[in-house]
Every structure is written in C-alpha cells, then in structure tokens.
Structure 1
Amino acid sequence: MKFSVFTASTPDWTPEEAVTALAGQGWDGVEWRVTDQADAPEPGFWAGNRASIPLTGLEGNIGHIAAITRRAGLEISGIGGYARCDNREDVERMLAATAALEAGQVRVTTPALGTAVWGDQEPSGTPYPVLFEAARRDFEWVADRAAHHGIKALVELHHRTITASASSARRLLEGLDPQHVGVIHDLGNLLIEGQEDYLPAFELLGEYLAHIHVKNAVWVRTEETDASGAAVFRNEWAPLKTGQASVLEYFKALAAFGYDGWVTVEDFSTELPLAERTAGNLEYLRSTAALAGLTAGAGAR
C-alpha cells in the first residue's frame, strides 16, 4: 500500500510547493487535480486552488508536471479529472495526458442525479434510468479508449451522482474490462450517500476496485426544522480522526480483502494549517494501517 495526496485538498500550495512539501513529509505520491476553475480572492478547494493543473493548455504542461513530480521523488497515484463521461473530447484529452504522464489511471466523472443541484446548474429532471443507460453507453466507449491508451478510467463513488454506491458502480461497469475501467471507493463520500458495509462492498466490486480515497465527514443538526417540524441535518467535512467513519475499520476491511494499491487522502477539513494537516494525516494513516495489518509501501495495483 502507498499513500498519496489529492491536490484538490492542498489549495494554498503551487504545484512546486506541493511536491516539495509532500516529499519532505514522506508521502509516496501525489494525485493531480486537473480542471479549469473559477478565480477566487483567496485559495480554496474548488476555486482559486493553486495546486490544480488547468485543463486548458494541459498538453503543453505535461512535461513540467512530470518533471517536478519526478524531481521530488514522488509517484503519480492517478489523475483527478473532472471530464464527464459524455464529454468525449475532454475525456480523450484526459486519457491521453494520463498515458503521457505514465500515471496509469484517471477519474472520469458520471452524471449528477436528475434531482441534484450540481455546481451552478439546477437539477436536470432527467430520470435515473435515462441517465444510467446513457452513461453505460459512454463507458463502453471510455473503456475502449482507455485500452487504446493502455490505462484505466475510474468511476468515483460520489454522492448525488448516478454512482453513489459500490452496487451502482458495479452495475454501470459490469462486463467491461477491469483492466481498463475501475472504481474509486471513497470513505467520506459514502457517509453522505451510498454507504454499504465495507468488506462486502469490496467483494462486490472485486477486480473493479482500483483505487481508494480517504476523507471523513460528520452530520450536524442545524437550528432549522422542515415544514413538518422535524430536525434538519447537514453534512460537513471533518478531520480523519474526528469524523463519523472509522478509518481503522475501513483499513481492516481493505486488509481482509487483500487490497494493496494506492490510498489517496483528500482532507477538506480546515481546523489545522495545511502543512500540519498533511503531515499529521500521513502519520495517522501509517499507524492505522499497521494496526489493521496493511503493509505500507507495497506495490500499487
């Protein structure tokens, strides 16, 4: 098992600062966020993130990304892309860039639910079966193109999308080549929607389990009530140690399944300064992996 950090969670650092800091702390790799984003007066996770690589001009940036990562002594655990499966032009660009970077795997996103507000977009109202069937056709094409490039395209388990659970992702990818499509199982996202018992979910995914994202969250009761007078809760990101999910139990399930790939951290809590947060996360993950019987430093799948 190897540990990396997704640069969506390191917004204060430039790419050069990110690899220098992470290598100095002892991380094994970095997962680059690639997207065009809005400007912001202050660095933020989703806008003004200084550690993100713009999609615009990506091809001209590949050599620089590879060079700074290599010089820092880090591996690339994958590419955190935002190209949706039906945007074939951008998906093809992301697949080609991932191959050029020798990163091995890249996230390709699935559609938001028809009932979901997504970014600045209002709910589409499209029924789930229509979204799902279209995405399945798209992923048949994605799998073929990923095979062409010799890499793997990953579906992330993400709340408010058509693949919030392991069951839905397995259904989407069923019958496609697991050498070229796979699933990112995400501990924190599943607290919000899609939670299934860890080990059975890993067993369900089988060869499609390709990558792990770790973050944590909590549900907080607000002062509001709904129209019926019932309590209203909202979810918030939390540090790995204080969120509702047990990282130890998660790692025990990964050990029981025999997972030996990358674990990428994307900690969106803000209680601690960034450098303290990333260093503390690595120390905690290593000690927790040891308690769970996982072998740190094993070769990634």
Structure 2
Amino acid sequence: MKFSVFTAATPDWTPAEVANVLAEQGWHGIEWRITDQAEVEGQTGFWAGNRATWPLTGLEDRLDEIAAITTGAGLEYSALGGYAPPTRRVDAERMLAATARLGAGRVRIAGLKVEPGQTYREAFAACREHWEWVEDKARQYGVQALVELHHETLTPSASAARRLLDGLDPAYVGVIHDIGNLVIEGWEEHGLDLLGEYLAHVHVKNCAWHLAGVESDGTLRWEPKWVPLREGRASLPELFAALARTGYDGWVAVEDFSTALPLPERTAGNLEYLTAVARAAGYDLR
C-alpha cells in the first residue's frame, strides 16, 4: 500500500512546494489536480485559487514541467485528478493522453448527473455509452480511466458504479472508492465486495453532519461538513480492515478538506495516522 495526497487539498502551495513538502514528510506519491479554475485575487482555496492545480488549458505544454517536479522530488503518481467528464470527449481524451505521456497510469474522468429533461434511466443509459467510449480510448492509450463514488452523480454508490462498468474491461476502467463521499450518499457497508475487480483506487477524507439552521416551522436543517480524518462518520480503521480483507494493496490518496490544523501539520499528521491505521489492519509498510 502506498499513500499520496490529492493537490485539491493543498491550495496554499505551488506545485514545486507541495512536491517537496510531501517528499520530505515521507509520502510515496502525489495526485495532481488538473482543471481550469476560477482565480480569486489575493486568495487561495480548495476549489478556486488553488496554487497546486495545473490548468487544463495548455496542459500538453506543461507535461515536461509536471514530470520534472514530480520525479525531481522522488514522488510517484498515484493518479491524475481530472475534472473532464466523458461528455467532453476532446478534453477527456486529452487527459487520457496526458496520463499516458506522464506514465501516471490512472486518471479520474468526472462523473455525470441527471440533466434537466432526462429521466434517471435515460441519463444512466447515456452515461454507459460514454463509458464504453472511455474504455476504448483508455485501451488505445494503455491507461486506466476511473469513475469516482461521488454524491449527487449517477455513481454515488458501489452498486451504481458496478452497474455502470459491468462487462467493461477492468484493466482500462475502474472505480475510485471514497468513504468521505459515501457518508453523504451511497453508503453500502463500504461496498468493496460489490466493486470486486473494478476497485482500482481509494480516496480518503471524513465528513460529519452539522446542524445548519432551523426553519420557521421548527424543521432542523442538516448539512455535511468536511472534518479531520480522525473525526466524522467514517471509520478509517474499519475501512482499512475491509480493504485488507479484499486484498487491496494499491494507492490511498488523501483529500482532507478540513481546516482545523495548518496545512503542514495536517499533511504530516495524516501520513502518521494512515500509517498507523494501515499497520493495525495488517499491512506491511516499508
């Protein structure tokens, strides 16, 4: 098992800074966020103004720089964190091509939703057709395309993702398991056995439900909030024990969007915690 950080969770650092810090702390790899994002002058954030994000626009001209920063720090790629959905086929293929050129192995293709005017069945059938195209392109490039278990998409659960990919070649398409997202939608007792051979990658973060307000009629309104890995609804010790039972020994990438600790303490503490949890589950980490 190897540990990496998805750079959506490191907005304060430049690519060179995040690579060097993670290497110094002992992480095995990095998962680069790649997307055209909004910029907020003078501010950084997870989703806008993230300094550790590579833009999709002009990506092909930055690949040598990405490779130099990654390998120069002695890190591996756990995957590329793309945001292009399969409906944007030109951009999705660009991400597949970049993954092949970098030797990153795996890339996330963004999930789809039910669009206005669609029924769920229509949306799911269309999504399946898109993923048949993704599988074909991933095979051409010799990489693996990943769909994430993510709330408010067509694949919030293991069973939905399995249904989407069933019959496609797991060498070229797979699933990112994300326990933090499952707290919000799609919980199926981890669902690892449902994914079977399609379990290709693991993201970890944690989430808790918080009282967000009270309506005029007294109805309580609850909303999810990202919290540190040790807190929240998800039990990482239980997850790692379940991963061990399935024989999973691949990458675990951290997406910690909590802000209780400063970023350097957060990343260092997360590596220490994950190492302890994995060893307790029986993993032999070296």
TM-score computed with the length of structure 2 as normaliser: 0.97
The AA in structure 2 aligned to 1:205 is L
1:144 Cα offset (Å): 0.4
1:28 equivalent in structure 2: 28
1:3 Cα offset (Å): 0.1
Counterpart Cα distance in 2 of 1:154 and 1:66: 21
1:155 is aligned to 2:147: yes
Q: Name the count of aligned residue pairs.
A: 285
2:54 equivalent in structure 1: 53
1:128 equivalent in structure 2: 120
Counterpart Cα distance in 2 of 1:287 and 1:176: 36
Query: Deviation per CA, 1:191-238, whole angstroms, max 9, x where unpaired?
Result: 00001112xx111111100000000010012331375x4321010000
Stretches of structure 2 lacking an aligned partner (at least 5 in a row): none
Counterpart Cα distance in 1 of 2:285 and 2:251: 10
2:77 equivalent in structure 1: 76
Counterpart Cα distance in 1 of 2:58 and 2:114: 30
1:205 is aligned to 2:206: no
1:260 is aligned to 2:249: yes
Counterpart Cα distance in 2 of 1:177 and 1:222: 43
TM-score computed with the length of structure 1 as normaliser: 0.93
Match for 2:280 among 280, 291, 295?
A: 291
1:85 is aligned to 2:74: no
Stretches of structure 1 lacking an aligned partner (at least 5 in a row): 115-123
1:121 equivalent in structure 2: none
2:40 equivalent in structure 1: 40
1:125 Cα offset (Å): 4.7
1:213-232 equivalence runs, <5 A: 213-225=203-215, 229-232=218-221
1:162-241 equivalence runs, <5 A: 162-198=154-190, 201-225=191-215, 229-241=218-230
Query: Deviation per CA, 1:258-281, whole angstroms, max 9, x where unpaired?
Result: 100000001000011101100000
* CA-based RMSD: 1.1
* Partner SS state of residue 269, structure 1: coil
Counterpart Cα distance in 2 of 1:177 and 1:17: 37
**Partners of 1:113 and 1:160 within 8 A in 2:** no
1:242 Cα offset (Å): 1.3
Seq. identity, %:
59
1:119 equivalent in structure 2: none
Counterpart Cα distance in 2 of 1:245 and 1:274: 21
1:128 Cα offset (Å): 1.2
* Partner SS state of residue 32, structure 2: strand
Query: Deviation per CA, 1:4-51, whole angstroms, max 9, x where unpaired?
Result: 000000000000000000000000000000000000131100000000
Counterpart Cα distance in 1 of 2:216 and 2:273: 39
1:296 Cα offset (Å): 2.6
Counterpart Cα distance in 2 of 1:113 and 1:11: 30
Counterpart Cα distance in 2 of 1:104 and 1:58: 17
Counterpart Cα distance in 1 of 2:229 and 2:77: 22
1:295 Cα offset (Å): 2.7
Query: Deviation per CA, 1:58-96, whole angstroms, max 9, x where unpaired?
Result: 000001101110010000100000000111100110000
The AA in structure 1 aligned to 2:125 is E
The AA in structure 1 aligned to 2:26 is G
